Amino acid sequence: MEIKKAEFTLSAPRESMCPQDNKPEYAFIGRSNVGKSSLINMLTNNKKLAKTSATPGKTLLINHFIINNEWYLVDLPGYGFAKRSKKEVQKLEQMINGYILQRQQLVNLFVLVDVRLEAQKIDLEFIEWLGQSSVPFAIVFTKADKLSAAKVAQNVEAYKKVLSETWEELPPIFVTSSEKKQGRDEILDYIETINAGLKD
């Protein structure tokens, strides 16, 4: 898939205020500081589309970007919130859960995981919840350029092993580096394949 056009559409504080059309939506989520904005900018070939920040937890709304006038890329707030009050955390959790569980246009959720870390409890619990809620998702490992190829492969295999303890079938898995544009074609092809299936 070639991205010819990527534009910010709107930021919504809750699911009911998201765009009212029926275009398919692909949402991206991960723990604070996992490299979500960088990945979105890499996928769309636009360094300024999603705001990257050195301060974790900057995305506080559901951000919609229209791609090629055909589908939406959705930037969700992170979980595992950095330095937030209990009230703020609850509000963000409600927003995220409301979107993921109630948004009928959501076709696939990309869960971002830092490939440098071993499986984190917070990610595993979130992935488990997605499974229980029957939400279609894929796992995207980020920051692959920070390790050797052998170490990346080793960490991904270790992660799969942990998932295999509770999952009979593993979700699609992508390995990415925003710096090197690694994984870009694979993710965009995956989205294109799903979109083609929706038209049938």
Domains plus CATH for the chain?
6-199 (3.40.50.300)
| SS3 label, residue 186 | helix
180 close to 145: Cβ distance less than 8 angstroms: yes
> Residue by residue, what is the 3-state secondary structure of 46-99?
CCCCCCCCCCCCCCCCEEEEEECCCEEEEECCCECCCCCCHHHHHHHHHHHHHH
* 188: exposed, middle or buried (Cβ count in 10 Å: 0-12, 13-18, 19+): middle
27 close to 76: Cβ distance less than 8 angstroms: yes
pLDDT for position 59: 66
pLDDT for position 199: 84
For residue 146 the two structure tokens come to: 């920070």
pLDDT for position 53: 57
Residues 6+ apart with CB under 8 A from 177: 142, 143, 144, 145, 183
The answer to whether residue 125 scores a pLDDT higher than 90 is yes
Selected residue with higher pLDDT from 49 and 174: 174
**Tokens 């898995």, located at residue:** 173
User: Which of 10-14, 58-62, 128-132 is predicted with the least confidence, judged by mean pLDDT?
Assistant: 58-62
Q: How confident is the model at residue 82 (pLDDT cuts 50, 70, 90)?
A: low
Q: Where is 185: in which H helix or E strand?
A: helix 184-199
Over residues 121-148, mean pLDDT = 96
The answer to whether residue 137 scores a pLDDT higher than 80 is yes
Over residues 117-136, mean pLDDT = 95
The pTM for the full model equals 0.94
Q: How confident is the model at residue 81 (pLDDT cuts 50, 70, 90)?
A: low
For residue 143 the two structure tokens come to: 């920051």
